Amino acid sequence: MGGSGGVSPYSWSVSPALPDGLSFDSSTGAITGTPTSQGTTVHTFALQDSSSPPQSVQKSFSITISDGPPPLSITTSSPLPDGNVGRSYTVTVQAEGGTGALTWSVPSGSLPQNLNLDSATGTISGIPTAAGTSNFTLRVADGAGQTDAQPYSLTIIPPSPPTITTTSPLPGATVGQAYSQTLQAAGGNGTLTWSLASGSLPANLSLNGAGTIAGTPTNAGNSNFAVRVTDSLSQTATKSLSIIVSAAPNPPVIITTLLPGGTVGVSYDQTLQATGGTGTLVWSRASGSLPANLSLNSNGRISGTPTNTGTSNFTVRVTDALSRSDTQPLSISITAALTITTNSLPNARVGRSYSTTLQRSGGVQPFNWSVSPALPPGLNLNSSTGVISGTPALAGLGSRSLTFTVRDSSTPTNQTANKTLTLTVNP
């Protein structure tokens, strides 16, 4: 309290008494202390000086005591959840009450190695690097100066070592064929790194750090070896394994030695055949030329529609996945389409000898001729030569329409040609 005027020193008094927990200094007029209850009270303060006679003055004031801040308390209990070496860890310690921002600290003890406390949030986080139990105290303070502290323990569990789960023997390999197998492991911490612990892999195979055995083996046989896997904490596991490398199969051999002929204007389709070899067989023309408009694809198929007659000589090659090959000389003969060129038949006479030869072009010998319906009585058709001969009988007098058919010896399908002609037998 303060006053002015008069003669010092001054003397203060108050009525009624101040709220519980507060005191009043009569010499200085200072009100001090920590109130213990809330509420509003009215008090009369009197000030008297040292003059003679003394002067005095008084004045009334109200004092209001409000509720204080809520008490601050840590609510997370001990122990904190366990962590694992090498694995990310996060836990947030909780508190209730208090005023304003909270500030966290570790006043005693220490957190597990490589874990840290966020002073603003109460979060403990990091990647533990050592196993064991740590004991420490966490303290929290609010903006009003309230504090609370709680002892804690936190256990870091050691990691499990890696275990190789791949079984022996590994899948077999074949000389000259690409090989790749990835080893498997369980457990361990962080990145696993693979290496060869002892023994030797098959020739031309190698093991990389990711655990993949790959390459193209060059020698047949059984290889025994041990592999090692190491985690980020230098924990290791080893295991004995083996790989059997088989010899490569026989090289390819072309077994197609003859090809059927073709016909101009008629679709041609033949597939070459081979035995043995490794992997996919690839066909190509080694020399010579195919008939015009025919082609050979990589699957060994010769196809197209020939446009010219003649015989084509060429050599084909087949190659397997190991670059082994075989060649075979072949030929294809292309003939003209089979056609009956005879356009009319000479007339015959009853009782007189008769002979005429049907003509054709194209096709492949030998040929076979036939006629429908039958020739007049006394006449016959030679199926091999196409000759009509004999002596017509009276019963065959007159004209009749006859269809002649010639069939050749083309393979795989014979060609045929038909033509209808009129044969007249006169008296």
For residue 113, the domain's CATH number is 2.60.40.10
Please check whether residue 6 lies inside any domain of the structure: no
Kindly state the DSSP code that residue 313 receives in the 8-state scheme: E
Shared domain for 258 and 327, answered yes or no, is yes
Instruction: State how far the Cα of 189 lies from the Cα of 194, in Å rounded to an integer.
Output: 14
Please check whether residue 4 lies inside any domain of the structure: no
Last residue of one domain, picked from the residues 45, 65, 85: 65
Please check whether residue 280 lies inside any domain of the structure: yes
Residue 188 is predicted with a pLDDT of: 87
Residue 26 is predicted with a pLDDT of: 83
Please check whether residue 220 lies inside any domain of the structure: yes
* Environment class of 195 (CB within 10 Å of its CB; exposed 0-12, middle 13-18, buried 19+): middle
Number of domains in the chain: 5
* Full domain range(s) for residue 86: 73-157
The more confidently predicted of residues 159 and 394 is 394
**pLDDT (average), residues 145-167:** 94
Give 156's contacts (C-beta < 8 A, 6+ positions apart): 82, 83, 84, 85, 89, 112, 113, 128, 130, 131, 132, 133, 134
CA 31 to chain CA mean position, Å: 80
Please check whether residue 374 lies inside any domain of the structure: yes
Last residue of one domain, picked from the residues 278, 302, 335: 335
Instruction: State how far the Cα of 43 lies from the Cα of 32, in Å rounded to an integer.
Output: 15
Residue 68 is predicted with a pLDDT of: 66
Instruction: State how far the Cα of 109 lies from the Cα of 388, in Å rounded to an integer.
Output: 126
Please check whether residue 5 lies inside any domain of the structure: no
Average pLDDT of the chain, as a whole number: 93
- Identify the weakest region by mean pLDDT among 15-29, 115-129, 263-277, 366-380: 15-29
3-state secondary structure of 395: helix
The model's pLDDT over 41-64, given as tens digits with 9 standing for 90+, comes to: 998 988 888 888 888 889 888 988
Last residue of one domain, picked from the residues 106, 127, 157: 157
Residue 283 is predicted with a pLDDT of: 98
Residue 363 is predicted with a pLDDT of: 86
**Above 80 in pLDDT, residue 203?**
yes
What percentage of the chain exceeds 90 in pLDDT? Answer: 70
Please give the structure tokens belonging to residue 291.
């008939």
